[in-house]
Amino acid sequence: METVEAVYEGGVLKPLKKVNLREGERVTVVIKRDVLKLAGSVKRAITMEELEEAYHEYVLHRGKGLS
């Protein structure tokens, strides 16, 4: 498996480096957005307590589906 950054322009994903693919070869693309850019959309800072509470809520609800 290889990770390659790409830019989406004009409806096409364009790799930022040369890729070793044959013409017409099919690949699977997993979209991972830049977390730091997404963080810029946060409207306010949260406290450590809020972060811990959100984490514990996530773990609690996630664990319900494991039984």
Domain ranges of the chain: 6-66
| pLDDT range class, residue 40, cuts 50, 70, 90 | low
One-letter amino acid at 12 equals: V
Is the pLDDT confidence value at 33 over 80? Answer: no
Q: What is the DSSP letter of 52?
A: H
Give the span between the Cα atoms of 20 and 14, in whole angstroms. Answer: 14
Widest CA span in the chain: 52
pLDDT score for 41 = 63
Query: Quick one: tokens of 24?
Result: 């017409």
Region 19-46 average pLDDT: 80
pLDDT score for 66 = 58
Average pLDDT, the chain: 84
